[in-house]
Amino acid sequence: MWTGLESCEVFYIIPMPDSKILVAILFATAFCFAQNINANSRSVNVMVKGLPAQYTSLRIDTLSRCIQNLPDPNSLVASVDGRTEYLKRISGTDKNDYVKVWNSKVQLVYQWKYKLQYLLMPQGGLDAQAPVFHETEGTAPVSETIAGDPQDSEFFAFSSPRRYYFDSQEVAQNSAVKRARQRITELKGLECK
């Protein structure tokens, strides 16, 4: 649907019916903002290809945005998976062996609520046709995967560089849940009031 979202400043819309082009633009904008919450930019410029042919670009300004439906930090559960790896110099010793190591992650799901104003600029400048100005609001779902950090574990292998692993499910789960709670704390300041 769009390309060039690396900077979330310019993207392209493919031709579609008039009523659906705005929905696609607003969803793309909300997605962009949801993925880039720390960016200072409050505007997105959109170059439109196709319909409506008489307009060439769209300026979208964020009037407000906030997060709703943050998960309860006490209800977080980490999913865990394990694998067997051959490790050398386990915990600084000369021991080499096959060891079961673990990974964990927590899936955070919440929504951005946003209010946008957009200005659709006519092709040929303001003399050719009046711009379209409108305000709209909506929501966009966001899902973040928070992985456990093996540096939270005291189990390591190899010596140069030292690599940390989770050697138990419990340590892996605790790490992922701890990091997910930290992320929720960061997002609390952006919650809707």
Over the chain (193 residues), the average pLDDT of each successive run of 10 is 33 40 51 46 49 63 87 95 94 92 96 84 69 83 94 87 93 96 94 89
pLDDT tens column, 104-140: 999 999 999 988 887 777 776 666 677 777 788 888 8
Domain ranges, ordered by start, for the chain: 12-188
List all residues 6 or more positions away from 105 whose beta carbon is below 8 Å from its beta carbon.
Answer: 78, 79, 145, 146, 147, 148, 176
* pLDDT in the model for residue 55: 63
With contact defined as beta carbons under 8 Å apart, do 150 and 176 qualify? no
- CA-CA-CA-CA torsion sign (184, 188, 190, 193): positive
Nearest to 90 by CA among 155, 11, 23: 155
Nearest to 179 by CA among 187, 168, 169: 187
Give pTM, 2 decimals: 0.65
* pLDDT in the model for residue 116: 82
* pLDDT in the model for residue 137: 86
